[in-house]
Every structure is written in C-alpha cells, then in structure tokens.
Amino acid sequence: MRIIRRILIAGGGPVGLLCAWLIGRHGLPVRLLFDNNNGPQPDPRAATTHPATLDLLAEDGLADDMARVGLVAPIFQFWDRPSAELVAQFDHAVLRNDTRHPFVVQCEQFKTAKLILERLRKCPSVEILFDHEVCDVAQTADAVSVQVRGPSGLVSHAGAYLVGADGGRSTVRRRSGIAFEGFTWPERFIVLTTPYDFETGRGYCYRSYFADPGAWCNCFKVSADGPPGLWRTVYPTDPAQSEDAIMSDAGVQARIQSFFPSAAPYEIVHRNLYVTHQRVAETFHKGRVLLAGDAAHVNNPIGGMGLNGGIQDAANLSDKLIRVLSDAAPERLLDLYDLQRRTVAIEFVQEQSIANKKRLEARDPQARARNLDDLRRTAADPERARQFLLRTSMIASQRRAEAVTLAEEYVRSFPRKRESS
Ligand SMILES: Cc1cc2nc3c(=O)[nH]c(=O)nc-3n(C[C@H](O)[C@H](O)[C@H](O)COP(=O)(O)OP(=O)(O)OC[C@H]3O[C@@H](n4cnc5c(N)ncnc54)[C@H](O)[C@@H]3O)c2cc1C
C-alpha cells in the first residue's frame, strides 16, 4: 500500500499559515492548505504579540519583520477610569534575562499572515488554495481525507494528518466530533478604531487597560497604513442593547465619550462587534486530526493571548509532525502535543484572560481597592513585576508546556482509566 506523507491544513489564518511554513520549509509536503477566503482578512482582531511568541518567530527574521511593519511597545499601563489615576505601569525590560524580546510588538494579524504568506510562496512543497472550503472530514487508521468545495466543485483530498486551524467555528473540530467545552460571555465586545492620538492627547502608552465598575476598556495603538497609525478601543456592551443601537453613530459616540470625554466628536474609522467565548476543545488530537489556534481554544481578548497561544500551538505541533513524518519519533509524540498545549490553554490562557476581565470590571469597592492596590505593589517591586510579566507575556506558559512530559499524562490518566475499567 502507498504511504501518504503529506499534511493537510484547513484554515489559512495566521496559525494555519505558520504551520504550513514551519513544516514546508523542512521540505515535507504540505500539499494543500485550504482557506474559504480569498486571502488574509483585515478585520481588527489580534495585534499584541508577546515576547514568548516573538522568540518563537525570530528564526528567518519574522519577528523583526513584524516589528518593522508594526509598533514596538515595551510598556503597558493600568488606569482607574473613575479617578483617572495611573495605577501601575509595567516595563518588559525586567524580562531582559528571560527573553530575546523584552517588549511586545503590536502587529495586526493580517500583516503577520501576509508576512508568512510571502515566505510560503517561496516554499515549493506547500500548495495554497484560497477560496476552498473544507466541508467534511473522514479518517481511517492509515489516512485522513477532507471534502473541499472550490471553484471546480467538491473534491476529496487525502493526507497522513489534518491540522484543523479553521478558527473558532472549526468545521474540522465539529466533523471530528470533538466537543468545545466552556461558555460564552453574555456581553459582546465592541472595537472602535479612531485616528485620535491618545498618546499626545491624554498621555496613554501603546497598551493601556482601564478598570471601571461593571465596565472596562482596552486602548491600544496599531501602525495601520503607516504613521501616524490608529488607536483601537475595546469595550463590553450591554446584552439588552440591540446591535443597531450599539453600532449606531450615536451609540458609538456615547460609548467612547463615556470613557474619554471630549468636546469634539471622535472620528470612528471602524466599528466591529464580537461574540466572545471561553472554550477549550476536549482534545487537540483525535487519530489523524490535530487542532490548533482558535479551532482548539478561544478566550476573551483582554491581555491579547488568543493568537499568541495559537502561534505557540503551531510551533509545538509542527516540530512534532516533522519528527513523526521523518520517522525520527513515534506517532505517540502527538499525544504530547495535546497534553502540553491543552494544559497551558486551560491553566494559563483561560485562567489569565478570565482573571484579566474580572479585575477590570470588579464592582465591589473593596475588591476594586484590593485589585488596584495589588497592581500598585506589584509594579513597585521589580521581582514581583518580573513574575507578573512572565505570566502576561506568556513566557511562563511556554515554560510550563515544555515541562509537561508524557509521564505526567500517565499519572493523570490513571484515575480516569481505573474509573472506566
Ligand atoms: C477584538 C479581538 C482582539 C484580539 N486581540 C488579540 C491580540 O491582541 N492578541 C492575540 O494573541 N489574540 C487576539 N485576539 C484573538 C485572535 O484574533 C485569534 O486568536 C486568532 O485570529 C486565531 O487565529 P487562527 O489562525 O487560529 O484563526 P482565524 O484567524 O480565525 O483563521 C481561521 C481561518 O480559517 C478559515 N476557515 C474557517 N472555516 C473554514 C473552512 N471550513 N474551510 C476553509 N477555511 C476555513 C477562515 O476564513 C480563516 O481564514 C483577538 C480577538 C478579537 C476578537
């Protein structure tokens, strides 16, 4: 029987593209990468790229290219909106011995995707098919196949493994019968993008978080089409308010003015509304199907961890798939991918992103005072600040993932196996 060695990838967002590049540049065949769009989409989602992720992307100059087309942001701030007090300021410089990149790079995700795509176009072992939608998945012990709808109709493609990097509503995950466990926040999150310069106008740095009882705001700068750049502000919305009211001119002005009062109306160049979830797939590895990025885990955007986690998945998974397909490691290594990345998705990204939201929206005056005081004291103590930044910059989660071994899986699965026997 002919052994199929090629890898199929569903989804050409930054995570799928990165998997294709990391695998393809080793000369292994990623014959088909399918995406149902016609190329990277410029929607205002991820921008914040953390030190741990930049370290992974340093090879071949990708991290440098992201800094070139984005903005370097070494500092972030926490503000208390009602008192207008700058509560705490953190400088990634305290991580200088922990990372080669003691700063964040604000690079819009479509720019990251385009930078990877440029590299992929020079990779002869990778075939990219935009305008192709994965509709179904089937697998046997030896191979996996996908049904793909493209301009010439429905076609079946077979491979050794399928990476589902097709986003939060992943068809690969659904058609593989993998549950997406967690919950959906009742409030939607709105992103309002403005050219108003919050740095010169109000003294905010490129990443600023605002606490407000029952509400919050993230305000950060992106380079957009070049200087002077744009500022994105993100807020929760009232679940009882209609989408029309939220998105109306009056609605968006009222929202931005409530946080940043100004005599003149703000110019709003984009307004986007997102339903937000906290979910993790029950497994990232089912037979010949592997999940990565939003297909595997989703979280609220406070702290900018979703895509960072997805890029870390892509690096971890690609390395293991290369070893398995080169016969340098047994297939069982893929279980370690699930164990390492699922562990940190739950222990770090879910936990941290939920804690970030709760800290900013706390209503109880005593809890608010405690939170703000804790931030003040953390920022004032260099070693506490370093420990805090190790978590927020996702270095701690990378270290945790690397420390997870298969022996740990045996220990953990033992009681489960005993229960089911
Ligand atoms: C407002 C907001 C701000 C955010 N900010 C940050 C941040 O600063 N930092 C951060 O790390 N994260 C952030 N995130 C999260 C980040 O946007 C996601 O984690 C990231 O997009 C995940 O990348 P991905 O490649 O896994 O999925 P996606 O970017 O969703 O890409 C999936 C791709 O698969 C394609 N696709 C879907 N279904 C199919 C199919 N059936 N067949 C073929 N193709 C298919 C889609 O068209 C898409 O191109 C933010 C999210 C939001 C909403």
| 96-126 pLDDT tens trace | 999 999 999 999 999 999 999 999 999 999 9
Digit-coded pLDDT (tens) for 257-269: 999 999 999 999 9
Q: Are the C-beta atoms of residues 191 and 269 closer than 8 Å to each other?
A: no
- The confidence band for 412, taking pLDDT boundaries of 50, 70 and 90, is low
State the average pLDDT over residues 401-420: 60
Digit-coded pLDDT (tens) for 236-248: 999 999 999 999 9
Q: Give the pair of three-digit tokens for residue 162.
A: 């399928």
Please tell me the distance from the alpha carbon of residue 136 to that of residue 166, in angstroms, as a whole number. 12
For the whole prediction, is pTM greater than 0.85?
A: yes
Considering only residues 228 and 409, tell me which one the structure prediction assigns the higher pLDDT: 228
Instruction: Ligand 1 pocket test: pick from 108, 294, 298, 313 the residue with the most ligand atoms within 8 Å of its Cβ.
Output: 294
Q: Are the C-beta atoms of residues 233 and 206 closer than 8 Å to each other?
A: no
> Residue 353 in 3-state DSSP?
helix
Please tell me the distance from the alpha carbon of residue 189 to that of residue 247, in angstroms, as a whole number. 11
Q: Give the pair of three-digit tokens for residue 238.
A: 């009232």
Q: Are the C-beta atoms of residues 284 and 294 closer than 8 Å to each other?
A: no
Nearest in space to 375 (alpha carbons), one of 51, 49, 77, 75: 77
Write the DSSP assignment of 105-169 as a string of letters. EE--HHHHHHHHHHHHTT-TTEEEESS-EEEEEEE-SS-EEEEEEETTEEEEEEESEEEE---TT
Q: Which residues have CB under 6 Å of ligand 1? A: 10-16, 34-37, 45-48, 109, 133-134, 165-167, 171, 189, 191, 234, 274, 293-294, 301, 304-308, 310
Considering only residues 214 and 315, tell me which one the structure prediction assigns the higher pLDDT: 315
DSSP 8-state secondary structure symbol assigned to residue 336:
H
What distance in angstroms lies between residue 58's CA and the mean position of ligand 1's atoms? Answer: 22
Please tell me the distance from the alpha carbon of residue 193 to that of residue 190, in angstroms, as a whole number. 10
Q: Return the pLDDT at 416.
A: 40
- The confidence band for 408, taking pLDDT boundaries of 50, 70 and 90, is low
Q: Answer yes or no: is pLDDT of 328 > 50.
A: yes
Considering only residues 168 and 409, tell me which one the structure prediction assigns the higher pLDDT: 168
Q: Which helix (H) or strand (E) holds 257?
A: helix 249-259
User: Which single residue is written with the structure tokens 């108003």?
Assistant: 196
Nearest in space to 316 (alpha carbons), one of 19, 99, 115: 19
- Which atom number of ligand 1 is nearest to the Cα of residue 272? 1
Residue nearest to ligand 1 atom 52, measured at CA: 45
- Which atom number of ligand 1 is nearest to the Cα of residue 34? 43
Q: Return the pLDDT at 3.
A: 59
Q: Return the pLDDT at 361.
A: 97
Please, what is the average pLDDT of the chain? 94
Return the number of other C-beta atoms located less than 10 Å from residue 59's C-beta: 11
Instruction: Ligand 1 pocket test: pick from 108, 166, 171 the residue with the most ligand atoms within 8 Å of its Cβ.
Output: 166
Q: Answer yes or no: is pLDDT of 415 > 50.
A: no
Please tell me the distance from the alpha carbon of residue 345 to that of residue 325, in angstroms, as a whole number. 26
Q: Return the pLDDT at 409.
A: 59
End-to-end CA distance of the chain: 36
What distance in angstroms lies between residue 261's CA and the mean position of ligand 1's atoms? Answer: 32
State the average pLDDT over residues 187-206: 97
Q: What are phi and psi of 279, to 5 degrees?
A: -145, 145
Q: Are the C-beta atoms of residues 140 and 150 closer than 8 Å to each other?
A: no
Q: Answer yes or no: is pLDDT of 417 > 50.
A: no
Q: Answer yes or no: is pLDDT of 420 > 50.
A: no
Q: What are phi and psi of 179, to 5 degrees?
A: -70, 150
Q: Answer yes or no: is pLDDT of 204 > 50.
A: yes
Q: Return the pLDDT at 418.
A: 35
Q: Are the C-beta atoms of residues 43 and 68 closer than 8 Å to each other?
A: no
What distance in angstroms lies between residue 13's CA and the mean position of ligand 1's atoms? Answer: 6
